[in-house]
Chain A
Amino acid sequence: MRLSVQHETRYRFTEPQARIVQLLRLFPGDTSHQTVVNWRIDVDCDARLRESIDGYGNLTRMLYAEGPVETLCLTVTGEALLSESDGAIEATDEPFPPELFRRVTPLTRADDAIAMLATGSDLAAMTALAAAIHGRWSLDRRPTPAIRSAIEAAADDRVSPRDMAQIFVAAARAKGVPARYVSGYSLSGDDERRTLAPHAWAEAHVAGGWFAFDPAVGGRSGLDHIRVAVALDAAGAAPIAGVRMGAGEEVLDVDVHVEGSEQA
């Protein structure tokens, strides 16, 4: 399947900013089941972009924009080919052994309620965990800029894909299963109008390999997920981590325009 993305993130500032520095994790890498055909990012103001790879092996760009900046628009345009893998993730760049992803971070602590969501530590249990989260919380896809911890999110009824992914990670680690947070894009919506939107899910290391689970759909993730970045938690895999130097407020029109197309 071929998926194409056009995704805009637009910032407006109430006062011009002197400088903006952002770390972008917006570039997917190839895996055994994901081939990036073309991918690019456009910035609507004078900016320097520098390519790198972070500690987790994610492809990154540093963005340096000199002010005065009143608005900033990042447009990601790309295409990827996906093939069926039933959730298995192979041939990724893995700088760390799975053990690292047992580490509990402040965002992925589990309380008893979260720990009880996972009933075991095998592939079936992880699939069931995704289903359990899907059943327990109702999904709210509206963008939420502030990252909250799994425990904070679990107290709510409506949670974001990001919250669900962190709850999954927390519950899996509570069972001793290496698990990690994934950010990327996925198809959503009904058959009439399917769009490819920024999304978050999780991977767990079971049966000798990494598998992707999407609690937002309640099972293993499949053909319609473009995997971009992984980390211990949502903060580490944030698509855009930025700092602005200047006064005033920031108004974020995240993801105003997303388009996906699907071809057999």
Chain B
Amino acid sequence: MGQAFDEIWGQGGPDNPRDDLAALARWMREVPSHELKRRLQSAEATFRQLGITFAVYGDSEAAERIIPFDIVPRVFKADEWARLSKGLVQRTQAINAFLDDIYGERRILKAGVLPPDLIFGNSQFRPEIAGIRPPHGVWAHICGIDLVRTGPDEFFVLEDNARTPSGVSYMLENREAMIRLCPELFRNFRVAAVDSYPDLLLETMRSVAPPGAGAHPNCVVLTPGHFNSAYYEHSFLADSMGIELVEPADLVVDGDVVWMQTIAGRVRVDVIYRRIDDDYIDPVVFRPDSLLGVPGLIAAYRAGNVALVNAPGNGIADDKAIYSYMPEIVKFYSESEPLLPNVETWRCREPDALKYVLDHLDEVVVKLVDGSGGYGMLVGPTASKAEIENFRRALIAEPQRYIAQPTLALSTVPTLTEKGLSPRHVDFRPFVLTGANKVQVVPGGLTRVALKEGSLVVNSSQGGGTKDSFVLMDDRPAQTQTMGGMTQSQGGR
């Protein structure tokens, strides 16, 4: 693994940045670290006040902590973004086509593109919902496609999130914070706005309302409740869309129709953005021990009386074993070459691949096929001997539960550390919205950064932080004057 590509400094270091990003690099040089630190502290205070917190699994309930925010933005140039967007749209369309097919005709199996047991033996393929076609045929209304980068033009998809991708509130709040903390950047660069996201999401939800819903479909956000670690995001989204945030107990299914209980009686619900996992969404169909669910919800969905965003059953598209076939899947449905490549992946269910992985455990990254959040993951080069041996045993016992990938030289972005600006590894989650008639990529996303020097694990549950992600509307700075905002913001407020 050589020197990683830095997205602003390139390979040349702070004094020799990439073409077109010199102005940004200059800003970094000119604003002293202690000033950045002062601004950052003020951002953290704001986050705490607003209650943007993230409960870490396993922590005691009192431990509500904020995800660290880094003040140096990550930047995509206009042409880079245009290429990425095309790839994201293509991939999201393929994911929707795949889900529609796999729960319907299963053409892709008949064509022999995927081994059938990969689908039928997979607990993420839900026989309970087979035969249901969601309103307007949309399954993954909100898709989070995780990307990594290794060079100027080398982007790879790391994983697809078609269940309930989270993190969009950070995209919006980070932007709010950046506008307040570094207004000069927005004066000097034309940064595409992300604040239309709630409107686009609502538009997407309305577009997939069932046919009988009328001109003003009732859309709601369904949260497991305020004890959930992502509750902040749920209430934030409901608030910014101006729709009701409901808990399961607020919903009643009667006669295959979903209603919400209000002080003036029952009101019909047409579209539900649900932030509850499939397993817990309807105790009559899935886990009977679930106290979170809405009994009868799947029946209402099957009857076509409600749209669920995202559709149940999408987990099959997130599965990392399926992921390894995604290039073939994209090719099958789009009838063209995939624009965004996958990271090379060894399926440990295949004996040759397993052998290779077992022989190279100290070099590769091993992941559970159905894992997320950085849990159940081995990063070979930084793992201890004991960790490697644990994974070796697990792999031999249940190889079908794992995949492995090479350890990539993830790109870095300059990040504020104790010792000033220093490169840190990042990944990226853009959000793609699919409605009845269109697919839209929001120009921005969630950049996650591994704050520990050299670390490749960016998950917030494992000590990662976030950055704002700028998409530049064109590659030239809007004005060539030197940054004047610094003094103003130092002296102001």
Contact = CB atoms under 8 A, between A and B. Distances in A.
A and B touch in the complex (CB under 8 A): yes
B284 A55 contact: no
A97 to B, nearest CB: 7
A102 B254 CA distance: 35
B253 interface: yes
Interface string B119-142: 011110011111110000000000
Given A52-B299, A53-B131, A103 B284 contact: no
A55 B131 contact: yes
B296 interface: yes
Interface string A57-82: 10000101010000000000000000
A97 B120 contact: yes
A5 B266 CA distance: 39
Contact of B255 (A64, A97, A235, A241): A64
A243 interface: yes
Contact of B130 (A96, A99, A242): A96
A62 B127 contact: no
Nearest to A235: B288
Contacts, number: 76
Given A48-B254, A64-B254, A243 B295 contact: yes
Interface range, B side: 20 to 34
A138 interface: no
A236 B253 contact: no
Interface string B247-276: 000001111100000000000000000000
A22 B253 CA distance: 11
A232 B123 CA distance: 11
Contacts of B120: 96-97, 99-100, 102-103
Given A53-B131, A97-B116, A19 B285 contact: no
A56 interface: yes
Contacts of A23: 284-285, 299
A162 B136 CA distance: 40
Contacts of B63: none
A231 B130 CA distance: 13
A57 B128 CA distance: 10
Contacts of B132: 55
A194 interface: no
Nearest to B254: A64
A100 B284 contact: no
Contact of A52 (B129, B295, B303): B303
A23 B285 CA distance: 8
A27 to B, nearest CB: 15
Interface residues of A, number: 30
A54 interface: yes
B128 A243 contact: no
B299 A50 contact: yes
Contact of B253 (A64, A95, A231): A64
A138 B284 CA distance: 31
A236 B128 contact: yes
Nearest to B115: A99
Nearest to B290: A243
Nearest to B129: A55
B302 interface: yes
Given A66-B254, A96-B120, A21 B126 contact: no
Interface string B279-297: 0000111001000000110
Nearest to B127: A55
Contacts of B302: 52
Contact of A62 (B129, B131, B296): B296
Contacts of A236: 127-128
B288 A21 contact: no
Interface string B318-343: 00000000000000000000000000
A56 B296 contact: no
A83 B288 CA distance: 36
> Most chain-B Cβ atoms within 10 A of its Cβ — which of A23, A66, A96?
A23
Contacts of A100: 120, 127
Given A55-B132, A243-B283, 17 more contacts: A19-B252, A21-B284, A21-B295, A55-B126, A55-B130, A57-B131, A64-B254, A64-B255, A95-B131, A96-B120, A99-B120, A103-B122, A231-B127, A236-B128, A241-B285, A242-B295, A243-B295
Interface of B: 116-117, 120-123, 126-132, 252-256, 283-285, 288, 295-296, 299, 302-303
28 contacts: A19-B252, A48-B254, A50-B255, A50-B256, A52-B299, A54-B128, A54-B131, A55-B130, A55-B132, A56-B130, A57-B131, A62-B256, A62-B296, A64-B254, A95-B130, A96-B127, A97-B116, A97-B120, A99-B116, A99-B120, A102-B117, A102-B121, A103-B120, A103-B123, A232-B127, A241-B288, A242-B284, A242-B295
